[in-house]
Chain A
Amino acid sequence: MRPAQRYSVVNVLLQGLARNRGWKPAWRAAEPRPAYDVVIVGGGGHGLATAYYLARHHGIGRVAVLEKKWIGGGNSGRNTQVTRSNYFHPESCAFFDRSLRLYETLGQELNFNIMLSQRGVLTLAASNHELELQRRWANAIRMNGVDSEMLDRAQVLALVPALSAHSRFPIVGGFIQRRGGISRHDAVVWGFARAASALGVDIVQDCEVTGIDIKGGAARGVRTSRGAIASDRIVMCAAGHATELARETGIRLPITTMSLQAMVTEPVKPVLDTVVISAVAHAYVSQSSRGEIVIGGAADIYNSYAQRGSLSVMRATVAAALELFPSFSRLRLMRQWAGAVDITPDTSPIMGLTPVSGLYINCGWGTGGYKAIPAGGETMAYTVAHDRPHPLIRRFGLERFSTGALLDEGAAAGVAH
């Protein structure tokens, strides 16, 4: 099943001639019903994608996505859009590459242009030691069947000439995943919402889940700011708010919620065609299709739900961006914001079952879960439909924090993005 009204050039022209008055809602404005087969808490990318795949792959249509504010208002609508699959561990690499593959056809599948731009993600090395570690990393990725290339200094500068100005640290080389890149975060959220809604999913905004009802060790429903809703399958996709949501169920999470900032400059004509990441200068930089230079860096250092960034961390991030691109110092920063990200001790996500039957969890994406949205949704949908973890996410279960079998992507996620 597809949305009734196709998005196409023909329709854009036809509707344009009709003063655009014939466009239908991208997704229905749904009122919460008393009961659902599956209730998903959190209308971010992961919640919406889970709903979409539940309906699409598993024929479960009586699904509600409950969002306390507006969909995409969490981290999915405020990230720097970096999409890549060059992860170190085989389990991560397989999962994130599945996600990238889904992204590659997502625009067509959802009939919504998500503006995937596979312009390459370049990670710089400032010393031989760093280059050696990158080689270990690049080889790991290749061993997992994913593209990755080492570049020497000349190749790096040929690819990104703006890096060549003199600065504090040398550039000795780097490595690139050419299939990596950026896409449009809002479009991913809206595209999933529209497609899910067309398959019957209710997307309920301004509906905050205030509690989860559990009886006899099994999930029974949720209490919300708009009344109680019964469901024996509940998926928590609340990112930075996961701890609060889970607290009442007795599930304690290994999550720290912190502010991660990003910022954009005034738009300029194209100057940067690649996503550039550096660990020594803690920043990553890309240029959006509207022309803003989009900059991200390290998370603020303390627990925070404030969705606002510290001035000192912002200044450090700008300084790091200028260390990479000294000529950008005359550009002006136009906006700085932050999201409340859900950080785990091993920087890998948490996905799967919980000790409460019928209660599923998806969180711990920290600084890098945007790129995971399609595969996160696909595997969570499978997990909910079969009540067992999808093979791709077996290693991401909550149990690993009791066995100690962590999946440390610290090296791979050294810089937040």
Chain B
Amino acid sequence: MRFRFDGVPLSGQAGDTLAAALLANGVRILSRSFKFHRPRGVFSCGVEEPNALVQLGSGARAIPSARATITRLHEGLEAFSQSGWPRLDWDLGRAADWLLPFLAAGFYNKTFKWPGWRRYEGSVRRAAGLGRAPIDADPDGYEVRNLHCDTLVVGGGIAGLQAAMLPPGERVVLVEQDEQFGGCAAWDGSAIDGRPASSWIGAAVARLVGTADVRLLLRSTAVGFYEQGVIAVHERSLRPDGPERADGGPRLPRERLWIVRARRTVLATGAIEQPLIFCNNDRPGVVLAASARQYLRRHGVAVGRRIVLATNNDSAYATAGDLHAAGLAVIGVADSRPEVPGGCRAAMLERSIAVWPGAMPVNTRGFGVLTGVRIGVLSRTGNTLQGGFDLACDALAVSGGWSGQLQLFSQAGGRLVYADTSGALRPECEHPLVRPVGAAADDPPAGAIGRRVAPVGDTRRQWVDLRNDVTVADLELAIRENYTSVEHVKRLTTAGMSVDQGKTSQPAVIEIVARLRGCEPSSLGHPTLRPPYTPVTMGALAGAERGPLYAPARLSPLHEWHASNGAELEDYGPWRRPAHYARPGEARADALARETRAVRTRVGLFDASPLGKIELHGPDARAFLDRLYINDLSKLEPGRSRYGIMLRETGSILDDGTVTVLSPEHCLVTTTSANAARVHAWMEEWHQCEWPHLHLAITPVTEQWATIAVAGGPAREVLRRAGLDIDLSSEAFPHLAVRTAMLRGRPARIHRVSFTGELSYEVNVPAEAGIEAWQALLEAGEDAGIEPVGVEALLRLRLEKGYLHVGTDTDATTVPADVGWGGVCERKRADFVGKRSLTLPENIRADRLQLVGLAGPDGGELPIGGHLRLPGSESPTDGWITSAGRVTLGDGQPIALAMLRGGRQHYGARVSVHDLGRRTTAEVVRPPFFDVEGARLHA
């Protein structure tokens, strides 16, 4: 397979990771370090990798900071280094290394203050950051899948496979982040139950695959444990991260997030090897010992030709043996323990590999890459050196013990404490939902470990966190400056805060901080282990609900007509509705003027279907509504409607609409389009929680009906022509009444209500009959010059009438008295929701904001959102304009509704209007601005 790194063509083998292929090609330097631009090479072979981060691909499909250690090689893969200028191996930033003494933890707190951080920020930001974010929209898809199971097994190593073998009927999910099952055993040559692990694994997987209700997921990492056994699992690389497949195969999403609900979780997550800490332990060529072994056994790649091993536990001896068996020069094993277990010794003796007990690396040599190591011989106490020797080598494989991967245990609320024996965090007690097993549970135990940190050397060059360039000296400084809590140490030094979240540094940080503070590591706690365990693509978290599917748009039953008849569709709350119907070449303002004129001078047709509609049935329906509305509904006759306002308990206006009594035990209320769901929920809450003894049933029916408003002088004529079979005269069918009728052979419910101030009917027909009815009405109104009108025209027309638009003219503090409905509240004897609050001192202050009308200067403009100041006022603002427009007929005078301090006392006054630096004046007037007597309404 061919691939490129920084433009250089290379080749590798199928099944390789990018890191393995680069190693095989002799590429030693993969990145530069974060602060000091030191060269860095492959350090591990898994998700814990701190160094080998590369940018994959380019353009919209680029992936920043991909871990070369877990990136599958594919034909044509393009990888780029993310740091180093002008070149990765010849980096001018290297100069920063000389600044190392000065760039200690938190140095930026102490500098860059003059003349201000902003001056330096740009260069600091450019120097920071890792990869580059794509700037074009992501062409790939993502999805979320939900899953339920009895047992979730995290990790598909031997321990995980064993844990997944459960009695039939048990619903099991097993997730493994790697490309294959078996964990270490898949490649380490071990035997299980007397047979080679690989055959055991094959059989185990086959058996699980064949079991009903068992699901196995590869390349899937459990990344977060949430409440009550909800685990997020991130499935990667469902298809190659190359260009889109041309063969038209199934279009899989790029990644998935599985949300697993599990009764029990087994953590068989294994352990991650920890490094040793000594001077210049960051040189390319220093690798984790088990990783060196894995590269060899799994990918056939040697991390070097002349290899030195250094360890503080038994596990590195297997690496030494394997490297030696592969014909590589294994110079010897430095073991920081004074006594090396006999078994390890014997194994080395067999291969004539030197073992140096009580020894560990104290420094490395090299220019760019590793060329040699100095091994120090520890004194009996381990705290000083007795001597040492130098070795030439091109790889140094280190093991500082193993750290069980218990992040999910901690996220689940399990407590972890540092155990000296393993030098890692261990569970303090059991957890009811989560059980660690296998290597994660330290089972079998790794045994006591030896020294991990070299006792001598320049601590400024002993790296603890490779990714964030944190050294032992930084930890020392933090303690010296009294940042002693592990959380402060983390935040000051940034140790453990980078993309690997301290997977190869956290135990050492705790150990070193404890030593510096002179306390037990177990007493320190540990920085919070947060989700995600490994970073998760944001697309996978969002799933399919991106772009057009981000939020559902609701469409009226008449939508198809609107869409094909020039409607400008806009979002109004969740609804996508016609703002207006544009004619070719017509500007928004002109369309608005034409539509409002059509209604005032002729007749308009308006789609009011989104209007909320709720039916209430039952003997107590009317009594129930009477408790919710400020209006007295007790005497409302069947067949009649009333405008009503409902309040929150604080007395502020929640919503408005009409209440209609259809029959003694059957009411219908309408709500504003935006609040329909809220009002329904509000009613249910009061009924279920407060007044369960009231007998009624509440049914939202918004979706059932298409609602078409016919407004304008000829409205009656239009309905008659459309074939409505009832008496429409004012005597028979007055304003605020409701009738049922047949329209073209279908039942219809007709409300005589008006939001425009014109004679107006709302025709309700079953949704599927909506378009037909709409067209019938258009046809019937043709002679009268009927025109469809959009939401904007309607809002303008109601403004002229001074009708309230809840949410525009009111906010969450507006009480009825502020908008002229105080009297109604006072007159109503019965209690209603919010009533008690209306007499709180705050709600009866004379200087509250009140709704008034404004008349603007001719030819001028009253800007919505402009603020008002009363003559002689001291306060910065006395209110603001909530809605504005122009009168439809005549001179087009600017008019507005406004909330003004003590507003109704100021009719006739002139206020100044302030808008983004411009200033005009307006006269405070009493609305409405049109048809004050309501002659048109009652026509």
Contact = CB atoms under 8 A, between A and B. Distances in A.
Contact of A269 (B129, B476, B482): B129
A408 B130 CA distance: 42
Interface stretch (B312-320, B355-363, B834-842): B834-842
B856 interface: no
Contacts of B107: 12
Interface string B83-117: 00000000000000000011010011111111011
Interface residues of B, number: 113
B118 A117 contact: yes
A108 B117 CA distance: 10
B865 A139 contact: yes
Contacts of A406: 813, 842
A133 B881 CA distance: 10
Contacts of A315: 144, 257, 541-543
A311 B230 contact: yes
A303 to B, nearest CB: 14
A227 interface: no
B8 interface: no
B62 interface: yes
A13 interface: yes
B528 A167 contact: no
A355 to B, nearest CB: 19
A12 B916 contact: no
A325 to B, nearest CB: 9
A21 B539 CA distance: 46
Nearest to B500: A334
Contacts of B137: 165-166, 326-327
B776 interface: no
A190 B842 contact: no
Contact of A26 (B224, B483, B487): B483
Nearest to A131: B865
Contacts of B485: 69-70, 73, 205
Interface stretch (A215-223, A316-324, A367-375): A316-324
A322 B538 contact: yes
Identify which of A116, A128, A139, A293 gathers the most chain B CB atoms within 10 Å of its CB.
A139
B863 interface: yes
Interface string B863-880: 111110100000111001
A25 B482 contact: yes
B726 interface: no
A274 to B, nearest CB: 13
A403 B840 contact: yes
B477 A319 contact: no
A326 B547 contact: yes
Contact of B110 (A7, A19, A168): A7
A25 B480 CA distance: 6
Contacts of A334: 498-499, 501, 532, 535
A322 B117 contact: no
B134 A327 contact: yes
A290 B840 CA distance: 51
A16 B567 CA distance: 69
A233 B843 CA distance: 35
A50 to B, nearest CB: 21
B827 interface: no
Contact of A319 (B111, B473, B545, B842): B545
Contact of A266 (B230, B535, B539, B650): B535
B410 to A, nearest CB: 11
A126 interface: yes
A190 B136 CA distance: 40
B125 A270 contact: yes
Interface string A248-289: 000000000000000001111111000000000100000101
A263 to B, nearest CB: 9
B148 interface: no
Interface stretch (A141-149, A379-387, A390-398): A141-149
A133 B807 CA distance: 10
B230 A134 contact: no
Contacts of A142: 914, 916-917
Given A116-B118, A329-B538, A289 B130 contact: no
B548 interface: yes
Nearest to B122: A270
A164 B310 CA distance: 53
A305 interface: no
B418 to A, nearest CB: 18
A168 B482 contact: no
A116 B480 CA distance: 26
A56 interface: no
B101 A16 contact: yes
A318 B480 contact: no
Given A20-B473, A168-B550, A333-B541, A8 B110 contact: yes
A113 B63 contact: no
B402 interface: no
A266 B536 contact: no
Interface string B40-62: 00000000000000000000111
A116 B118 CA distance: 7
B813 A111 contact: no
Given A116-B118, A411-B812, 19 more contacts: A8-B110, A70-B485, A73-B487, A90-B875, A129-B808, A139-B866, A139-B867, A165-B137, A169-B571, A265-B535, A266-B130, A267-B129, A311-B232, A315-B257, A329-B142, A329-B538, A332-B535, A332-B536, A333-B535
19 contacts: A7-B110, A12-B111, A20-B476, A20-B480, A108-B114, A115-B112, A128-B570, A135-B864, A165-B137, A266-B65, A269-B131, A318-B538, A322-B542, A327-B60, A327-B137, A333-B541, A334-B532, A406-B813, A408-B811
Closest 4 CB pairs of A and B: A135-B865, A291-B129, A329-B539, A7-B110
